[in-house]
Amino acid sequence: MKKTVFLFPGQGSQAVGMGEDLYREFGFVRELFDMAEEISKINLSRLCFKGPIEDLTQTVNLQPAITATNLACLAAVQKEGLKPVASAGHSLGEYGALNAANVVSDEDTFRLVYKRGELMHRESTKNVGAMHAILGLNIDAVEKIVEQSKAHGIVSVANHNTEQQIVITGEPGAVKAASKFAAENGAKAIPLKVSGAWHSELIRGAEEEFKSYLDTVEFKEPQSNVIFNVTADYETDPPEIKSIMASQLCSPVKWYDSILKLAQAEVEVFVEIGPGKVLTGMLRKILPRDYPGKVYNVNNMKTLEKYFSENL
């Protein structure tokens, strides 16, 4: 089998209708949704398939909803015995990567993301936040601007997505000031539709409680590699993985560095597993034009069949 990596999307990839045709096709997908609904007490199948998008996008609903779709797509791929050499997930998507490597069970994956969503939602109601995407500057330039903007309040880098696509997060005034500085340096700043300042000090209040909750869940040694957002590196020690997942809440997502590391390992096939094409789009901006690997996304029956037809 070709050297394959599974990539799992996070918040921002949602769409009404996600996962519906897989739900109709496979009994094991219906079982996954039933499990997620039992744990979260949310009618996730109705939210995912019918919306409305405003309700689906609420963090407390969205985290289990995207995870249910990610795991449904993963289970559909796994039924033919296809396995990755490594997995990675973007923020929330990291729980799909842990599941793919058998670090956490399906049930515990849903428990963790539901608790994570609950705590993040709670902190976002206490502390108003904002996030802007900065396009056209590299990480060093953005970090200097962020440092310069701290006089206006809390602001930091949330996601380093591609070489020149970086998301900043924090208090609205400080984020706005940073965006103004970025624009003066030739960048484009785009406000994101989010309900909180994710990956910032403004949700620090969730970290300790989530860390305690992580201690109630069994983490096993990965059966395949997982590359983590916080470190852009691999880790195999279960207690250390728990520590990384606790700090992930308020730490930057080092997605660009993670993909570069996977490319250095000469991965032949990248598969985005879950709704949308956000990660596929980032991959095409990160990988060199002459990179020999192939890129797929699996989010419905049509894309699943295409992936199978070219890889089985």
CA distance 47 to 51: 4
Taking residue 109's Cβ as centre, other Cβ atoms within 10 Å add up to: 25
Q: How far apart are CA 109 and CA 98, in angstroms?
A: 8
Q: How far apart are CA 312 and CA 295, in angstroms?
A: 15
User: CA 2 to CA 82: how far, in whole Å?
Assistant: 10
CA dist., res. 90 & res. 14, Å (int) = 13
For residues 294 and 266, what is the distance between their CA atoms, to the nearest angstrom?
11
DSSP 196: S
Spot the catalytic one: 121, 199, 200, 251: 199
Helix/strand/coil for 248: coil
199 given a catalytic annotation: yes
Total residue count of the chain as it appears in this document: 312
Read off the tokens for 232: 């852009």
Buried/exposed code over 284-307 (b: 16+ C-beta within 10 A; e: otherwise): eebbeeeeebebbbbbbeebbeeb
Question: Could you tell me the sign of the dihedral formed by the alpha carbons of 235, 206, 114, 258, in that order?
Answer: negative
Among candidate residues 40, 91, 200, 251, the one labeled active-site is 91
Cβ–Cβ under 8 Å, residues 126 and 201: no
Alpha-carbon distances, residue 80 vs 22, 72, 73, 268 (angstroms): 15, 14, 12, 19
- Residue positions annotated with a catalytic role: 91, 199
